[in-house]
Amino acid sequence: MKIQIVKQGGNKVKTAGNVCPWLVDIGIDTPKQ
Amino acid sequence: MQPSMFNVRVPLEDRNDVFLMNTFTDAQLIVAREVADLLDRLEAGPRQPWTAAEREALATLTEHGFIVESREADHRKLDEYFRAIREDQEQLRVTVLTTLQCNFACDYCIQGDHGDYNKHAARMSLDTAAAVAAWAEGRLDALAPASFVLTFFGGEPLLNMPVLYYLSERLWRACHARGVQFHINIITNGLLLTPEMVDRLLPFGLNAVKITLDGDRDTHNRMRPLRGGQGTFDRIVDNVRRIAGRCRISIGGNFDEESVDSYPALLDFLRGQDFADKLSRVAFKPVIRERRAETPKGVIPLTAVGAEGRPLSGTCMTSAGGGTSICDSCNFLDDKMSFLRDETKKRGFATVDGVHMGPCEIHRRHAHTVGPDGSLYACPGFAGDDKHSTGHIDGREDASRARAAERFDAVAAWKACDDCAFIPVCAGGCTTAGHAEHGSLQAPSCHKASFEAGLVSLARDAARAAECELVD
């Protein structure tokens, strides 16, 4: 049965949330550690 | 065992495959239809004897979060997830409104260079900036985060450069002394942006600048003129060209039903510029003007708008959008968002995927917005409105702010979203929008159709990438 992994599941907390994706977000992720 | 409530899927055209995503783990798979069918069979229960191949597929799906112990387990994990986001100390985030003054007279904003607005609009003093810096240093000591993100917003933040430079330089030193990474973002209309300014800020951690272009030249000049009606497009573009390559640049734009058709021309124009490949991201958001009475219950915009045309607190309407309310019963917004995302990608620009939207900073305890007078807010959408201030940098005791802090601390609009699969990437949507429309901080700002449209694009992109991978 074919299962092709496009993206592994991960720790969402570390990636969640820019300043404000709805209104004022800079639109660019801040560099991670 | 049962399928996770956060599973979403898109059948892929022209092939017998399905794109599966779990919005909680962010796992993304391309699977044969029979694998997707397995999830349906599992949902339908009762348990059946599985073949060895099915057991292997189920194990992989479980490993990536597509199968969970129970619905209760999903809800428990969701609660833990939001708690972890709320308490996360890895990053301190502070958005500073250097001023509520603005040099533009945007047609969808009653602030800025209209009437005598600027005469009375608040502006941060250097004394207040020093107090903001001392407060931020206190937060750094209390949290010991790995990084600190300082975002400048307004009004037009570049109208108060002394404060912008002072905070950038002092807080860079504070972070440097504490071994904390420091990043500066600026959200500006771009008119006053110069290479000298960028060069001065780069050693202090300038990360990115976001600039707004509302359509092609003529449309932008109509939407975002100076007070005398002079256009601003050429000068902004020239400024972008001059700073391109020095720091990351994000181009944003607010479209409405009249201006949206000019965006492909803007994209063509940007693609033709010598700085095109130096744009880090291009993304547009809708502003739709409809009469409030026509708004269907529970449907509110991705961009927050103030009722009756009043401004949203005191922050820049450039990003918050304008108008009075939204009617999306015709799916105009979702269609156009999806269309513009595709048009943007076609021209080779990085853009948002329309799925990974949140949760935003309002769900983080250690993210703050600071108004020009040092008042604290839970997010920029509420800044400038005293009754929504959650505290003050001077630590003053104030019953009104304490009550506001409690109200914002309890924000969890997603609890009204039942078992929606998009909760982990939406969190109930924009609280400012929900509040503007429904008068409650706990009202979801639902735009599920937009997430679904984004998901279809994400699936298409994943399928294309997977095909290339197979060819390689």
| The token pair that represents B106 in the structure block | 């945007």
Contact B360 A22 (CB under 8 A): yes
Q: Can you state the angle between helices B448-471 and B332-346, rounded to 10 degrees? A: 30
Rounded to the nearest angstrom, the gap between the alpha carbon of residue B351 and the centroid of all alpha carbons in its chain is 12
Q: Which pLDDT belongs to residue B115?
A: 72
Q: Which pLDDT belongs to residue B187?
A: 92
Q: Which pLDDT belongs to residue B210?
A: 93
Q: Which pLDDT belongs to residue B25?
A: 94
CA dist B371 and B124 (Å) reads 8
Q: Are B381 and B431 in contact (CB under 8 A)?
A: yes
Q: Which pLDDT belongs to residue B27?
A: 95
Q: Which residues of B touch A33 (CB under 8 A)?
A: 90, 146-147, 181
Helix (H, G, I), strand (E, B) or coil at B123: strand
| The token pair that represents B9 in the structure block | 């899927």
Which DSSP letter does residue B347 get?
Answer: T
CA dist A13 and A25 (Å) reads 18
| The token pair that represents B218 in the structure block | 């003529």
B352 and A CB contact within 8 Å: yes
The H-assigned helical ranges of B321-398 are 332-346
Contact B29 A19 (CB under 8 A): no
Contact A24 B380 (CB under 8 A): yes
Q: Which residues of A touch B57 (CB under 8 A)?
A: 1, 3
| Mutation for A interface: B185, B445, B464, most A CBs within 10 A | B185
| The token pair that represents B420 in the structure block | 């929606």
| Mutation for B interface: A19, A29, A32, A33, most B CBs within 10 A | A19
Q: Are B29 and A6 in contact (CB under 8 A)?
A: yes
Which DSSP letter does residue B427 get?
Answer: T
Please name the member of B85, B185, B302 whose beta carbon is closest to the beta carbon of A22.
B302
B445 and A CB contact within 8 Å: yes
Q: Which pLDDT belongs to residue B316?
A: 62
CA dist B383 and B312 (Å) reads 8
ipTM of the predicted structure? 0.78
Per-residue pLDDT tens digits for A1-33: 899 999 988 766 555 445 566 665 544 554 443
CA dist B369 and B205 (Å) reads 19
Q: Are B7 and B21 in contact (CB under 8 A)?
A: yes
Q: Can you tell me which residue has the tokens 């994990």?
A: B77
Residues within 8 A of A (CB atoms), B 375-434 only: 379-381, 424, 429-430, 432-433
Helix (H, G, I), strand (E, B) or coil at B91: strand
DSSP per residue over B8-47, as a string?
EEEEPTTSSEEEEEETTT--EEEEEHHHHHHHHHHHH-S-
Which DSSP letter does residue B85 get?
Answer: H
Q: How far is A31 from chain B (nearest CA, A)?
A: 8
Which DSSP letter does residue B5 get?
Answer: T
Q: Dihedral sign, CA of B201, B205, B207, B210?
A: negative
Residues in chain B with pLDDT values less than 50: 288-312, 318-330
CA dist B77 and B70 (Å) reads 11
Beta-bridge mates of residue B30: A4, B19
Residue B16 CB neighbour total at 10 angstroms: 10
Q: Which pLDDT belongs to residue B304?
A: 44
Q: How far is B366 from chain A (nearest CA, A)?
A: 12
Residue B329 CB neighbour total at 10 angstroms: 11
Q: Which residues of B touch A9 (CB under 8 A)?
A: 22, 25-27, 64-65
